[in-house]
Structure 1
């Protein structure tokens, strides 16, 4: 049985009906449009979803493919796969661990839900949809008795300060509240904690190709 959660989000205090559910083939065209809105240049266009990848998501691991509608309009998505992860050996690239977004390496016996991507249309970001989708995936982690939810967080603000500080200093300033980063600060608000910084995680000029692995541990394990 798939995931389906009917909720309300609020626009200046006005409740608006929304639903978080598994995405399917009928959503593909809109999901591709959402990616283009969320990741404009200089983000590499070849890293945006294509139909083959989306078909792989819903075929290999539909439980890890969720989206959110607001008043009937598709507003965002979150995609994950299961992998076997050892915290003592955290280094990897996004391409390696997600099969370049095709998730053909999905391991039904894996111990970790790995987040491939999260996208929310800019005009819907005031509703907190990213956090709601993340919490929905936490529920899947608990239901499947996995150890954790994990994913690499971009640090798109780093390029602005890279001449003045190391990536470790940048992360520490985010955690200390001295700096706000669009991705890492969001993930902290979602309840995730830094596990490790990885180099050459993604072709990402804004982050100088770094990412921080952000973990949510299953509290029932």
Structure 2
């Protein structure tokens, strides 16, 4: 995967490239994490070089970054797993705490480990471009689907009167807007359930929306 695109937010235009990240990018990738997840997010949860080494060694096709005018502005990481419909899981179990040592070379599901973009570059639509590139990777590898657990940061505002499933349904129908789930829906992802205890996330009350994109070339 190596793709050159022109991105714009209506007031600025820039040339961007989406490609696999390499060892030379590790420092910049950790900087992206630090900018994307500032305090009080724990710094120890940012990518470390040992995790990134596993990504580029085990599954380089699932380790993508986007550079704008030569600067790494975002990244998206995935691994292959075979997961039955409705399988319960948490992020740490599904991704081996981000080390992806549980990567299955023949897994039928491309499972998203992480997606982040520097705040200063988010208006350029880089997250959507990275997701589209993972859709293309699903097709190229012959996987059945792309799957991820998406945070539901708006849920805490409704947790006293809705279950996570009810909240997700309201977002799906467009009656509520969630910063993450609504974005993923705009990227073509479909909510297929809720993973409880997915991540230690107070805003989501520990829940995540399971978001799926199915390979249209596999029935």
Query: The TM-score by the shorter chain falls in which range?
Result: over 0.9
CA distance in 1, matches of 2:9, 2:82: 40
Instruction: Name structure 1 gaps, 5 residues minimum.
Output: none
After superposition, give the CA deviation of every residue in 1:177-215 in whole Å (9 maximum; x if it has no partner). 122111101110110101110110111111110001100
Contact 1:84 1:107 (8 Å CA) reproduced: yes
CA distance in 1, matches of 2:147, 2:87: 11
CA distance in 2, matches of 1:47, 1:190: 26
| Residues paired across the two proteins, number | 218
TM-score by length of 1: 0.95
Q: For structure 1, which segment, 147-156 or 177-186, has the greater mean C-alpha deviation from structure 2 after superposition?
A: 177-186
CA distance in 2, matches of 1:161, 1:47: 27
Pick the aligned partner of 2:120 from 96, 119, 123: 123
How far the C-alpha of 1:165 sits from its partner, in A, is 2.1
Is 1:188 aligned to 2:181, yes or no? no
Pick the aligned partner of 1:106 from 83, 103, 108: 103
Instruction: Name structure 2 gaps, 5 residues minimum.
Output: none
Q: Name the counterpart of 2:7.
A: 9
How far the C-alpha of 1:14 sits from its partner, in A, is 4.6
Pick the aligned partner of 1:69 from 58, 62, 67: 67
Q: Name the counterpart of 1:132.
A: 129
Q: Aligned-pair RMSD on alpha carbons?
A: 1.2
Is 1:198 aligned to 2:190, yes or no? no
CA distance in 1, matches of 2:31, 2:159: 32
Is 1:178 aligned to 2:179, yes or no? no
TM-score by length of 2: 0.95
Q: Name the counterpart of 2:84.
A: 86
Q: For structure 1, which segment, 42-51 or 97-106, has the greater mean C-alpha deviation from structure 2 after superposition?
A: 42-51
Contact 1:43 1:204 (8 Å CA) reproduced: no
Pick the aligned partner of 1:27 from 10, 15, 25: 25
